[in-house]
Amino acid sequence: MADILVVEDDEANREFIRFVLQQAGHRVRTVCDGQKALDAVAVQAPDLIVLDVMLPEVHGYEVCHRLKQSDKTAGIKILILSAKTFSADRHQALGVGADDFLSKPADPKVLVERVRLLLNGTSPPVPPTAN
């Protein structure tokens, strides 16, 4: 069982992701903006963060970049889950240090599998670059 932080400003999406990951056996905390994510990580670092991009306060890419630049938090796995769907968006996410990228809406089984792979230290499959 892993400790996962879900950072999502849309309440319905946040609760859905929380439910899916809890059903998979994980401990899940949630926050609704980028600054709250940084604050939550400073209090207790999770094993993995599911991070939206379009967030109030601090943008998701900036949250990812800050966490990956710090020696204290660089080892936290970050899965960016975004409504952005172009390959350029995936490249930007990986460029700021994200460990994986999924577009919304993510299939719950795919989300759980990608989380499992990241937690096990396995590289997720690289999707084709269609866009």
What is the C-alpha separation between 12 and 122, in angstroms, rounded?
Answer: 30
β-sheet bridge partners, residue 3:
27
Our count of domains for the chain comes to: 1
Range of the domain at 80: 3-119
By percentage, how much of the chain surpasses pLDDT 70? Answer: 93
What CATH number did the domain enclosing 52 receive? 3.40.50.2300
- Look over the chain and give the mean of its residue pLDDT values, rounded to a whole number: 91
Radius of gyration of the chain (CA): 13
Residue 25 has pLDDT above 90, yes or no: yes
128 is a domain residue: no
Could you tell me the pLDDT band of residue 84, with boundaries at 50, 70 and 90? confident
77 is a domain residue: yes
- pLDDT tens track for 47-68: 999 999 999 999 999 999 999 9
94 is a domain residue: yes
130 is a domain residue: no
88 is a domain residue: yes
92 is a domain residue: yes
126 is a domain residue: no
Q: Please state the pTM of the whole predicted model.
A: 0.91
CA 118 to chain centre: 11
